[in-house]
Structure 1
Amino acid sequence: MSFKRTPSHLKFVNKKRIIQCIKDCSPISRAEIAVKLGLSKPTVSQLVDELIYEKWVVEKGSGESSSQGGRRPIQLFFNERKAFIIGADIGGTNVKIVLCDLNGNILAETSFSTTTYLQSGLLKQMALETDRLITKNQIAKERILGMGVGIPGITQTKSGLVIEAPSLGWIQYPFIAEARRYFDFPIYVDNDVNAAALGEQWLGNAKNKRNVLFIAVGTGIGSGIILNNQLYRGASSAAGEIGYMVTNKDEMKREFKPIFHRYGYLESVAGGKSIGAHFTRAVQNDPEHALYEQAKSSELVGEEAFWFAKKGDILATAVIDEALEHLAYAIVNATSLLNPEIVILGGGVLHSAAYILPRIQEIVEPYLPSLVEITTSRLGENAGVLGAVSLFLREHESILNVHDEGDFL
């Protein structure tokens, strides 16, 4: 018999089940919990009393008589302010940090320039900013459960080692080991797009979905994959590197030159940097174009290409449509392999979602073996930080962690 089937472990699992039930279904009574979970009323009552004593749960209502003559049951609510979690999203441009309650409500946030502190002490600055958030909101440090962090690179969650993060210049960087010098609470780290996928499943458009493909389209392109309710990281923590997907074999027969060092094929033809570069070259060949003088002296950016495409500009439309075709082919390939319930697009692409989404759906639909919902991120710019909070809740062993029990099978 497995050691996990001891009475003490069974009690712990049942407390987890009860607290999750209260989180999902509150307000709810003890009797309703017993029915939903198939537990005896005495067991539920005892464990609920413990959860109330530990302040994970609060009860409201007096049990007074209802209009039908019976007594109203006392209602139970999850105490989302029992503790707090820090979420951090380290980007190539900015670091964003949020202070959240246990339901993912952002109570306070801050950000600072990544490049300003990358050489002089990024983790030290994160610690200073975190302390300011906690102090300003008058929260005792012992009520901070810990922190989740998203990093733009290949990251090992168990060891806390950043294998490679090109935009930060990190190679084999021991992030967790270094973080322990500045933080005295538990920290978990993962790829930033993996974190965003978790955030979208927790609070966004992938809520209640067990199979999710989240694609972040910005300067580069990456994806987070959730299969059967578990984040799929791959054999070397590099799963989801959709930016390396090849969507044109003829171009690959010629010498391939990535848009940035170590960038993949897809992000070199469909990422924001690529779109800007292609638009610049097109405009440079058209002296009559409104941006001709600007394109001669500096490279245009992807946002400008999208803006002009929305206005009907022929050059911009051609560049954008070419990039979207590549992205759509990648979605066809990934979706055919993974069979997700939903594909969510996030990142900088969100600023042009109304233009992009119909075009991608039109290209993708004829090629898919089965229909899939394709939409954009509900959490937007907060997907990364809220995903980092969700990462912490999933990885940290606590009464709130339901994923280590195989969904209570």
Structure 2
Amino acid sequence: MNKKLSNAEIRTNNKKMVLQCIKNYQPISRAAIAEKLHFSKPTVSLLVDELVRENWVHEKGIGESSSQGGRRPIHLYFNEKAAYVIGVDIGGTKVKTAISDLGGKIICASSFNTRKQLENGLLKQIQKEVQEMIQRNQLDKSMILGMGVGVPGITETKTGVVVEAPSLKWVRYPFLTEAERFFSFPIYVDNDVNIAVLGEQWLGRAKNKENVLFISVGTGIGSGIIIHNQLYRGSSYASGELGYMVTDKNNMKNEFKPIFHRYGYLESVAGGKAIGRRFTELVQQNKSHSLYAEAAETELTGEQAFSLAKAGDVTALTVVEDAIEHLAYGIINAATLLNPEVVILDGGVMKSADFILPRLQKIVHQYLPSSVEIFQSQLGENAGVIGAVSLFLREYDSILN
């Protein structure tokens, strides 16, 4: 049985809808809002006046007069400076923290080495970074709505428990419970690739797209999925583990060994570490190769493989083109199933996007039943913190929703 909403709840919901309408269609007049939402003009005026008093909305300039020569409408804008949100991107090597306005403009940011602070407590250090940024930039602490956080592991978003984050050595880590010891405002946490796709849809290449596949290609390979404008997390918060996809059944039969313990097939043949390792093995078999001496002493990197492939090195080309094929097959399988409007690629391996993308697109478009746009992420090093801010704004049960 559906619970009947009280008049106060209906009014609050209407107010949220008006604010959302202003955010989406600014600059916009009261009359245009009424038309879009099918609300009466007096209702819209009352709600807008309230939003203006509360500083969520401001009036600016005047619009064009109507064709009948009537009074020019006042245009309304969402006040992106009304509050701040903290975005935190926790990675295996670096933790980045930023304070943003409500439009995603980063006001200040800082970062620290994950390993150095892991034993002393990441949250304690994040708290210290936040306090220093607030003081240094003379921000009003009361204007901070809360914080969004991305972590490199499977995360139960409702309980705030990080089920497993191997790079942090966290297993069933009660992130939110611990965070509440250091911060008094609301906090939301999710997997780092999930928040990346939210950021990309908000301010990146996937803006205005409702069906998005975001793939991070680094040492591991993971994906974030948005379906009909909703983040898809799966039955146990483990959706998007693209790195476990099998793209060569014959190789799987030959006692396949993952690149790292519990890593999947695709990331063990197309991830950055896997590319470097395979390149090293082939160079070690060729004494005339320019990197033979180095490969005999230490493992070469995926970055070296791509650098030499661009220069026409046959061994490097063999390795990276094989990896690109596997990645293409993974994209084909995922895109065939999900039918996204756009596929966004990010991660360390995508530093060589100029080399990878044309080859990927050629293979993918050959086999997909319907075409899909493939881009590199445009948010760069801020993708994680922007995504974390976006997570907060989506989840926070406030007037902003």
**What TM-score results when the alignment is normalised by the length of structure 2?**
0.97
Aligned equivalents of 2:244 and 2:288: distance in 1? 36
Aligned equivalents of 2:359 and 2:44: distance in 1? 52
Structure 1 residue 115 displacement after superposition: 0.4
Contact 1:347 1:380 in 2 (8 A): no
Aligned equivalents of 2:125 and 2:104: distance in 1? 24
Alpha-carbon displacement from aligned partner over 1:23-64 (angstroms, at most 9, x marks no partner): 122222111211222211100100000001111001123789
Which residue is 1:132 aligned to? Answer: 132
Q: Percent identity?
A: 65
Per mean C-alpha deviation after superposition, the further-off stretch among 312-321 and 341-350 is: 341-350
The residue type paired with residue 354 of structure 2 is: A
Per mean C-alpha deviation after superposition, the further-off stretch among 57-66 and 90-99 is: 57-66
Which residue is 1:150 aligned to? Answer: 150
Unaligned runs of 5+ in 2: none
Say if 2:217 is the partner of 1:214. no
Contact 1:350 1:380 in 2 (8 A): no
Which residue is 1:406 aligned to? Answer: none
Aligned equivalents of 1:241 and 1:317: distance in 2? 27
Which residue is 2:251 aligned to? Answer: 251
Aligned equivalents of 1:88 and 1:48: distance in 2? 33
Contact 1:245 1:330 in 2 (8 A): yes
Say if 2:252 is the partner of 1:261. no
The residue type paired with residue 162 of structure 1 is: V
Task: Return closer, same or farther for 1:64/1:212 CA change in 2, 3 Å cut-off.
Answer: closer
Contact 2:65 2:73 in 1 (8 A): no
Say if 2:164 is the partner of 1:177. no
Which residue is 1:29 aligned to? Answer: 29
Per mean C-alpha deviation after superposition, the further-off stretch among 254-263 and 352-361 is: 254-263
Structure 1 residue 262 displacement after superposition: 1.5
What's the Cα RMSD here? Answer: 1.7
The residue type paired with residue 215 of structure 2 is: I
Structure 1 residue 257 displacement after superposition: 1.4
**What TM-score results when the alignment is normalised by the length of structure 1?**
0.95
Contact 2:271 2:349 in 1 (8 A): no
Aligned equivalents of 2:262 and 2:112: distance in 1? 26
Alpha-carbon displacement from aligned partner over 1:208-243 (angstroms, at most 9, x marks no partner): 111111000011100001111111111111000111
Aligned equivalents of 1:24 and 1:193: distance in 2? 25
Alpha-carbon displacement from aligned partner over 1:316-368 (angstroms, at most 9, x marks no partner): 11100010111111111111111111111111133111111111111112221
Task: Return closer, same or farther for 1:75/1:302 CA change in 2, 3 Å cut-off.
Answer: same
Which residue is 2:58 aligned to? Answer: 58
SS at match of 2:288: coil
Task: Return closer, same or farther for 1:71/1:95 CA change in 2, 3 Å cut-off.
Answer: same
Which residue is 2:387 aligned to? Answer: 387
The residue type paired with residue 275 of structure 1 is: I
Structure 1 residue 178 displacement after superposition: 0.7
Contact 1:114 1:122 in 2 (8 A): yes
Which residue is 2:288 aligned to? Answer: 288
SS at match of 2:385: helix
Which residue is 2:160 aligned to? Answer: 160
Per mean C-alpha deviation after superposition, the further-off stretch among 103-112 and 286-295 is: 286-295
Which residue is 1:278 aligned to? Answer: 278
SS at match of 1:3: coil
Contact 1:149 1:388 in 2 (8 A): yes
Aligned equivalents of 2:135 and 2:3: distance in 1? 42
Which residue is 2:94 aligned to? Answer: 94
Contact 1:195 1:391 in 2 (8 A): yes
Which residue is 2:239 aligned to? Answer: 239
Alignment of 1:290-369 (within 5 A): 290-369=290-369
Which residue is 1:371 aligned to? Answer: 371
Structure 1 residue 290 displacement after superposition: 1.8
Which residue is 1:77 aligned to? Answer: 77
The residue type paired with residue 230 of structure 1 is: Q
Contact 2:156 2:237 in 1 (8 A): yes
Contact 2:30 2:41 in 1 (8 A): yes
Per mean C-alpha deviation after superposition, the further-off stretch among 94-103 and 246-255 is: 246-255
Contact 1:57 1:78 in 2 (8 A): yes
Aligned equivalents of 1:47 and 1:67: distance in 2? 27
Which residue is 1:405 aligned to? Answer: none
Aligned equivalents of 1:107 and 1:215: distance in 2? 27
